[in-house]
Amino acid sequence: MAVMQEYKCPCCGGAIEFNTTVQKMKCPYCDSEFEMDALKAYDEELQNQQTENMQWDTQAGSQWAEGETNGLGTYVCKSCGGEIVGDETTAATSCPYCGNPVVLMGQFTGALKPDFVIPFKVDKKAAKEALQKHYKGKVLLPKVFKDENHIDEIKGVYVPFWLFDADAKANIRYKATKVRRWSDSNYNYTQTSYFSVIRGGDIGFERVPVDGSSKMPDDLMESVEPYNFNEAVDFQTAYLAGYLADKYDVTAEQSIERANQRIKQSVEDSFRSTVKGYSTVATETSFINLANGKAKYALYPVWILNTTWKDKKYLFAMNGQTGKFVGDLPMDKSLLGKWFLKIGGITAGVVFLVQLLAWLLV
């Protein structure tokens, strides 16, 4: 069977063909011309890109030693299914995720022992104060929310994270333009020059975190990052005293896809930041191969706060190491409408003023 080879224009993406008049490949859409050797090198480079085929080493965590889990119990929420771990001193009376009562089920079993833990550095009082600061400056927050809202529960939870190491080798091609405009007495001119920008190199990643709990929203956990891993210590059960520890229900293997996404996005962002001086830049091809992938298991400290307003629950989280606070708030729709009217009035006034000045200058 015959194989058809189609060449795409690096400038506009249209199909290009050999033009006998100029003896070059020419795009019939944007009139760009290309030497044959340049297209040949471009085609060979694309064909030589290797596909990714990395096998992650996910032997994270270790087995608990005999007697090491004595005093640890599991708490299961009958509402959301959250399963958390605490020591026998923990007064686990409600679920840190949904606020409903939890029940002590029995001895803790069936999970890997974490490799590392970052201990809590900020206390419950700081979490309460952070919530009040979170309200400040929110002009669209209903006033009654601050007045009537109360904290249902504050829990210090060690959230399970899989920490991924990997080496990334990337080759990324960008389609860029530079636009120049000028005028004479007769015409306005626009000149657009097209460029093919190539970036390649290696980047190493260490301890890229992926939340190992399905109950904890990934965007919420990623929003309280970063953590300072220099303060991590080898795991000991003593760090759980007075806190809860979320029991992972997403394995390291199941977290690989998210780890790949985070690493590749970081690579693309890093390379893109080096392409400067152009009017527009668009990614044309991106080849990112990962190698030497390993995973570790750690517990990171998070304060979880639940509040209720108008029968709706709001979940907030604070980094238990740095104090970074995040969470969604309700919006007063009537205030939003007033802001739009106000902005609309200002815009109309500005337009009127510009038109008035133009009329006066004629």
Contact predicate 306/151, CB 8 Å: yes
Tokens of 247: 């029991």
Higher-pLDDT residue of 170, 330: 170
pLDDT value, residue 50:
57
| Mean pLDDT within 150-175 | 89
Bridge-based pairing state of the strands 150-183 and 244-246: parallel
pLDDT at 148 over 70: no
Residue 247 has pLDDT above 70, yes or no: yes
Mean pLDDT of 169-173: 94
pLDDT band, very low/low/confident/very high, at 338 (cuts 50, 70, 90): low
Q: Which residue has the tokens 């920008």?
A: 197
Least confident span in 17-21, 167-171, 250-254, 309-313: 17-21
Which residues, 6+ apart, have CB-to-CB distance to 10 below 8 Å? 32, 34, 42, 175, 194, 196, 284
Q: What is the pLDDT of residue 327?
A: 82
8 Å CB contact between 189 and 181: yes
Average pLDDT along the chain: 78
Torsions phi, psi of 256, nearest 5? -60, -45
Give me the mean pLDDT over the 234-243 stretch. 82
pTM value? 0.70
Least confident of 5-14, 84-93, 276-285: 84-93
**Helix, strand, coil in percent for the chain, rounding step 5:** 25, 40, 35
Give pLDDT tens digits for 185-217: 899 999 999 999 999 999 999 999 999 988 888
- Rounded Cα distance between 156 and 84, Å, is 11
Instruction: Give the count of alpha carbons within 13 A of 136, CB side only.
Output: 6
Report the amino acid identity of residue 265: Q
Do 225 and 322 contact (CB within 8 A), yes or no?
no
Name the least confident of 39-43, 310-314, 344-348. Answer: 344-348
Q: Give the domain ranges of the chain.
A: 1-48, 72-170+195-331, 337-362
Residue 61 or residue 164, greater confidence? 164
Per DSSP, 57 falls in state B
Say which range, 88-92, 120-124, 133-137, 317-321, has the weakest mean pLDDT: 88-92
55-91 pLDDT, tens per residue? Answer: 777 777 777 666 666 666 677 776 676 777 765 545 4
- Does position 232 have pLDDT exceeding 90, yes or no? yes
Local structure of residue 287 (DSSP, 8 states) = E
153-175 burial code (b ≥16 CB/10 A, e <16): bbbbbbbbbbbbbbebbbbbbbb
pLDDT of residue 112: 80
Q: What is the DSSP letter of 17?
A: E
At 105 the pLDDT is: 54
Q: What does the pLDDT average to over 277-294?
A: 92
Q: 315-318: long-range contacts at Cβ-Cβ below 8 A with a sequence spacing of 24 or more?
A: 315/97, 315/217, 315/220, 316/131, 316/134, 317/220, 317/221, 317/223, 317/224, 318/122, 318/126, 318/127, 318/130, 318/224
Q: In this model, does residue 2 exceed pLDDT 50?
A: no
The per-residue pLDDT for 206 is 95
Dist CA 226 CA 208 (whole Å)? 10
H or E segment to which residue 49 belongs = none
Q: Is 110 left (phi over 0), alpha (psi -120 to 50) or beta?
A: left
pLDDT given at position 94? 65
* 95/164: higher pLDDT: 164
In this structure, the strands spanning 102-107 and 280-309 are: unpaired
**Would you state the pLDDT for residue 188?**
93
**Does residue 4 register a pLDDT over 80?**
no
Confidence of residue 360 (pLDDT cuts 50, 70, 90): very low
